[in-house]
Structure 1
Amino acid sequence: MEENLEDLIARVDTLIFGADPAQALEPFDRAVARYDADPDPDQLDSLLTTFGYLLLQFDEYPALPRGRTLQLLDDLERRHLAAGNSLRIVHFCRWTIAHHLGQREAAEAAYQAWVAAPRDDFAWCEGCEQIYQLIHLIETGRPAEAVLWAAMDISGSCHRQAKSVPAMLLPAYVRLGELESAADAHLQSYRQVRDEPDDLYLHAHHIRFCALTGNSERARELVQRHRDGIDADVSRYDELLFSVAAGLANGGGGEYADRAARIAAEFDRRNGNTYQSELVACLLAEQPWVESLTLLGDGGCDEQLTGRPPAKAMIEMAHRMHLADRNIQAVEIGEQVLTALTDPQVFELAEPESLHVLRNVLFAAYLDLDEPEAALSQAELVLANAPADAGPDWYGMVLRKKGELLEGLNRDHEALESLVAAAAQYGRAGQLHEQVAALRLAAQSARHVSELERAEELLTEATAVVDKLPADDPQSTTSDAVVHWEFALVRDLQGRLPEAIDLATVSAELYESVGQVESAQNARGYVADRTAKLRL
């Protein structure tokens, strides 16, 4: 049975993003021929989009023939012109190909046409476009323009933008003398990809940066950490870039350099020139950008590890970094300490009080960096190794944060117990507002796992605590409003809708009395919706 055009295009898309996009050419030609023989307007957009997908694999895989790719590019331009579409995607593809072939004048012309053309539904992901625009600006000697362009608020759902843009800017920051920005960008970006084996392209940028800024030991460490990714599902060009960076980290020669040269030769045979081989040779011989760039501040960490009391000094440094809101540096230093402490001799030099400080610093820094798994692990260590003089207010704070982390990770049964324990500790400390908040959060977790009776018990307990609060304190009114709101949600799930509406009405009034407009509007909206439902 012959495939219909829609299924054929879907099959082509699958092949394009597979291990060998060249396999997509034959079915793609059939799809184009079938469309041209019997044009289906409903399939035109899909076909034009697939054109772009295929063309943008040219610089990633040497098996895609040059002549055929250029023919497809001209065909795509003709079809977009005929349809009255913007040529932005066409100019982007032309830039990609010219950039890869080393055609500088053509690349600059395509770049200018690309950024000038209006965006439409066929334009490439806006976040990804920004990444390639930065590459062009930096490689053509415009680092200041690149930094300004990177500061543009290009929002969207691009999953690569946040981790890629700082990595692309590394050479620009160094050339502009903004070394602290370069260090921060490296740490920020690398932290997002360090556990991703198929992000070889970005690993290569970070390895190169370290190798050329006096951080050769870290560069070699990153090569060792990510070398298995070279055999993962990555493009041939990503493999090339990683091999170049790894060769550079190892002095410009060796097995990685040889591998890079072989892959570059594959591209050159397809391209009909020697540009990629020449580029690889230049990159492998690249001279340091700066003699030394300290990544972690305060003199770095390696030197301190060689001293007699290294662990305590590094813990203090991590603490200073956290207090200065440099949390990435704090966790990098703290994690180095944890690695060093696997040495029994180093562990003996670390005072218990310092270790407690380290665990608290890591816990707080992971929270600030929104790394819940790591924060939860540290919370458990903090609680298990609490100092003898830790008070109930401290226990309440840590247990509440642990509960919130567990809830965020959809582990509500565990969150419930942690939050109940936090409420008990806050009660012992006489921190009644915090106790109400913890009980309300515990009830929310109970509601999420359909333990409605437990939720009701917790909210009844919270109501009793609210009754003890100072009546003239606006915070007391807020606590009361929060409990009424949560009670309304529980009653709703229990099928007791009139009671839920009454509770939500009281919550709205309480919020309004202390000027919390958004919360009040939310409660009023709920009341209106549920009242209408009740009348049906």
Structure 2
Amino acid sequence: MSHTEQELRKLYHDTFSMPKGAAKFAALEEVMRHADALGLVEFAFDVRMQATSVFQHSWVPAKAFLSYSWCLAAYDREPERFGARAEHRLLWNIKWMIYSVHQFPEVPLQRAFDLLDDMERRYRRGGHSMHAVLQHRGLVAESVGELEQAQEFYERMDRTRRDSLSDCAGCVPSSQVRTLVALGRDEEAIRIGEPARTSFCSEQPQWINSELLLPYVRTGRGEQALEAHRSAYRRIRDNPHHLAELALNLRFCVHTGNAGRGLDLIERHLPWLGQARTPLAEAEFAAAAVAVLTALENQGEGELLLRFPAAEGRRRPDTSVTALAAELRERALDIAARFDTRNGNDYQSNRIRRWMAAGPIGESVPMSVFSVRAHTPGGDRVRGLIEKVAAATATGDAEGAARARLAAAEALLEAERPAEAVEAAEEAIRELERLGMTGDATRCQVLLARAYEQDGHRAEAVRRLRELLEKQHGDLPGSPDRPEWEATLGEWLRYGPEASRWYASAAQGFAASGRTAERLSALRRALLCNPAPTAVAELLAEAESALAEPGTPVESRAGLLHACARMLHHDGRLTEAATHLATARDLLAGASAAQSAQSAQSAETAETAETAELLGEILTALAGVRLRLGAPDAAEEAARAALDLTTDPDDPWNEARWNAVVVLVRSLRARGARTEAEQLMADHGLDEEDLDEWDG
């Protein structure tokens, strides 16, 4: 399929809002191919530079090599065509290529050295500092076991001025700490790294916090290590790009005597191995996981059954601790052997073996929330439940301890401490499932989904709630009931066909239990979420059936009519859309008048304001439909009525008022009142582009 340039630019723009993943990668590659076919060289360059960043900061740096190489070759052929800004972007991105390329054993090591030489040549030619060059020479030297060279590059970099091509204030110390830890200089690593823990970029502060874990533990700073782990993991846990940092956090669990916590992380993140950004990251995660699993074997838990979440529609079969340890040990050593062949030494194999043999260092660091005496709001109840866990454990009441863990997780969530609730629920689930307490385990899974959502990790919350609803055919344990959870999942998904499907399913559940108002609300959301084209007719029919039910609240009926009208309008059924909107207007106009009369002697109620806001939206939509039906006078009447209802007329960002003004201007123009229309545009700061952008 071919595209025009305009279509291609829109397709490219649409990729900005897509989440990282296979669909976004494919869309960017499609834009590149068609840009090449149309001969849009500058556009193809810009797309590839953006794609290089997307690929590098996802888990497919191999794709970044290809897009970057194309851009570098194009620039070298015609530097004047792309300019100084393009050169700066290329010089910045070459650091990403060097950082990644040496982590692929299939790529000859000389390729990394050639890139470093090319980087230095280009930097010198442009009069730039050697700071970034020395940093990346040190990283490559450290990765192949040339530690004396790594130290030399580190010290030279430390004496070299920074400039605009140097990494940020968090990433430079992160690479320094990595080298210092390999050299055994822990105190210096902490001194260099700690100031960077407040830095932020796409890699920070999770990278620096993860690199500091081992020096913290080896120097007896257990509390600092625990805080760094928690801070790092909250930013790592939703993105496979951070697999290498996750490996460092797994090692922390082993070093501090928290193999159980490490197992939670393995069960959740093992599917990431299929998305490892580089073979080195894959080997490091596998080796760190082996250390965790070996610690559990030593505790007599080798036969413990592990279950893994589904990833991209597939789920890894259950396996035991011992079997998984053997599998990952072989995997890690195989990758390390490939690096040794490429590097000409056994540095990586020895390093990976040390990782797999890791054990506790110094005193254990209590990591479980059940070992903490909390003093924040809700602390008394939480402390009591923590003591109950300890007491039940001491008397051998494993089931009582597991239920107390679940109750503590609930208390933490009620106390608005979602991060701690996540940790408590994950620990409770492991115990409940081990004891075969299926009902309590499912209840805890529901709680965990809520905790993730409240802690700002919506993607993980969606994944967990979706799995529960697909697995459980009846109500989930606890309150609310299934239709409410389905509506909640639709809300968490926010937009798109899947969100619409869950809202539609919730509407059916509400209908079955006679909850008409909730049914109408769910159907309205299902229609507004951009349902799949094949689902629209069925949703509209379901909505008409719901609207025919007696006794439904006026606002619910009006809201659903409005949503139906939007679908009808989009489908070109303008007359039907106008009828629905007029009916909704009449319903709300009566309700608004009644509410105003009731509140005439007092301040306007929130309910009255909400009704007026919805009525304004409906009137604006009605004006737009009437305009398209060729009735500008009727459109003007509706637009003026909508404008009268909008609040805060001096707020330039009031979207409802802006929409009403735009459709009023277009109505005035349609009936020939251009002078009044131009004055209205001037009064509200509108231009022709604003009128063109409005889609009715």
1:482/1:278 CA distance change after superposition, 3 Å: same
CA contact (8 A) 1:423 1:438 kept: no
Aligned match of 2:81: 42
Shift of 1:404: 3.3
Aligned match of 1:309: 400
Superposed counterparts of 1:89-488, under 5 Å: 90-100=133-143, 101-102=146-147, 103-109=149-155, 112=158, 116-119=162-165, 132=175, 135=178, 141=186, 142-143=189-190, 146-154=193-201, 158=202, 167-168=210-211, 170-171=213-214, 175=221, 177-178=223-224, 181-182=227-228, 184-185=230-231, 188-189=234-235, 191-193=237-239, 196=240, 200-220=243-263, 222-223=265-266, 230=273, 234-251=277-294, 256=328, 260=332, 263-264=335-336, 266-268=338-340, 270-271=342-343, 275-277=347-349, 279-280=351-352, 282-289=354-361, 291-299=363-371, 307-334=398-425, 346-347=437-438, 361-362=447-448, 364-370=450-456, 371=458, 373-374=462-463, 377=466, 384=475, 401=488, 404-405=491-492, 407-410=494-497, 411-412=499-500, 415=503, 424=517, 446=564, 449-450=567-568, 452=577, 461=587, 464-466=590-592, 467-468=594-595, 470-471=599-600, 472-476=602-606, 478-488=609-619
Shift of 1:367: 3.5
1:382/1:316 CA distance change after superposition, 3 Å: farther
Shift of 1:495: 4.0
1:439/1:498 CA distance change after superposition, 3 Å: same
Paired residue secondary structure (2:257)? coil
Amino acid at match of 1:307: A
CA distance in 1 between partners of 2:454 and 2:277 (Å):
32
CA distance in 2 between partners of 1:257 and 1:359 (Å):
31
Indicate which of 501, 505, 521 corresponds to 2:654: 521
Provide TM-score, normalisation by structure 2. 0.55
Aligned match of 1:501: 639
Shift of 1:226: 5.2
Shift of 1:478: 3.1
Cα shift readout 1:397-425 (whole Å, capped 9, x = no counterpart): 87875663464455347547858968826
Provide TM-score, normalisation by structure 1. 0.69
> After alignment, is 51-60 or 418-427 more displaced?
418-427
> After alignment, is 95-104 or 293-302 more displaced?
293-302
1:439/1:518 CA distance change after superposition, 3 Å: farther
Cα shift readout 1:24-77 (whole Å, capped 9, x = no counterpart): 89x979x86x987x6543367387577545423343023444445334322322
Paired residue secondary structure (1:116)? coil
CA distance in 1 between partners of 2:429 and 2:588 (Å):
40
CA contact (8 A) 1:488 1:504 kept: yes
CA distance in 2 between partners of 1:492 and 1:374 (Å):
41
1:259/1:312 CA distance change after superposition, 3 Å: closer
Paired residue secondary structure (2:286)? helix
Paired residue secondary structure (1:309)? helix
1:168/1:492 CA distance change after superposition, 3 Å: farther
CA distance in 1 between partners of 2:653 and 2:557 (Å):
21
CA contact (8 A) 2:137 2:153 kept: yes
Aligned match of 1:432: none
Paired residue secondary structure (2:105)? coil
CA distance in 2 between partners of 1:271 and 1:521 (Å):
62
Aligned CA RMSD, in angstroms, stands at 5.5
1:54/1:532 CA distance change after superposition, 3 Å: same
CA distance in 2 between partners of 1:534 and 1:137 (Å):
70
Q: How many residues are paired up? A: 499
1:202/1:49 CA distance change after superposition, 3 Å: closer
1:28/1:440 CA distance change after superposition, 3 Å: same
Amino acid at match of 2:197: A
CA distance in 1 between partners of 2:280 and 2:455 (Å):
32
Amino acid at match of 1:319: E
CA distance in 1 between partners of 2:401 and 2:568 (Å):
50
CA distance in 2 between partners of 1:402 and 1:255 (Å):
36
Shift of 1:344: 9.1
CA distance in 2 between partners of 1:135 and 1:246 (Å):
20
Amino acid at match of 1:41: E
Shift of 1:192: 1.9
Shift of 1:322: 0.8
Shift of 1:215: 1.7
CA contact (8 A) 1:60 1:237 kept: yes
Aligned match of 1:430: none
Are residue 79 (structure 1) and residue 113 (structure 2) matched? no
CA contact (8 A) 2:206 2:232 kept: no
Cα shift readout 1:185-215 (whole Å, capped 9, x = no counterpart): 365245424xx5x754244223212222212
Shift of 1:317: 0.9
Aligned match of 2:103: 60
Shift of 1:456: 6.2
CA contact (8 A) 1:183 1:293 kept: no
CA contact (8 A) 1:396 1:426 kept: no
CA distance in 1 between partners of 2:565 and 2:204 (Å):
37
CA contact (8 A) 2:620 2:639 kept: no
Structure 1: which 5+ residue stretches go unaligned?
428-434
1:265/1:192 CA distance change after superposition, 3 Å: same
Paired residue secondary structure (1:117)? coil
Shift of 1:277: 4.7
CA contact (8 A) 1:247 1:284 kept: yes
Amino acid at match of 1:506: D
